[in-house]
Structure 1
Amino acid sequence: MWRGDAGGWVYQGSSKTNTDGRSGQLTSIVDAVKPGIYRISFNTGEYNPSGFFPYVSIVFEIRESQKLEHFHVPLLVSPFSFSTYRGS
């Protein structure tokens, strides 16, 4: 997970998916996330080497009013498409 600021992206943490395709906690910042623009990048080519998208990045914003909320950002991927949404 990355946090955007005026100087670019700042590395916040990483995780690998398990056999269910789920990732653990990406960062140690869990009690109160700093508002800002974040990017999660997925190495989808490792999961599906013959797919069209070797990497997928999702950029989203956390607002001041959301800093105590839980964020679940699922990625659904197939060889030639992907979809995401804010989960609960």
Structure 2
Amino acid sequence: MKMVYFPSNSMLEEAVLKSLELLEGTATTEQINMKVIEVLSLSDEIVQLEDESGLGTKLNYRLRWARTNLKSKGKIKNVTRGTWTLA
């Protein structure tokens, strides 16, 4: 089995912030996720990797946590359900 390099939590958090900057400060969850893939140049293999829980992809799961962590640090805000902005 081939090892797949997965970005660290801090890399994902930085990529979420960078993505929001590139998207002019406000974006939907989906827009942020797509931009993170672009910013980090993630392979299809990484993007499509299933989460251990079987409830979607590992990337989407980890990006949910990255946004939660950034929100608790006061760096981003959830303005409406599914829409984020830089704090």
- TM-score, structure 1 normalization: 0.30
User: Which is bigger in relative contact order (C-alpha 8 A, separation at least 6)?
Assistant: 2
**Structure with greater strand percent:** 1
Largest Rg, 1 or 2: 1
**Structure with greater helix percent:** 2
- TM-score, structure 2 normalization: 0.30
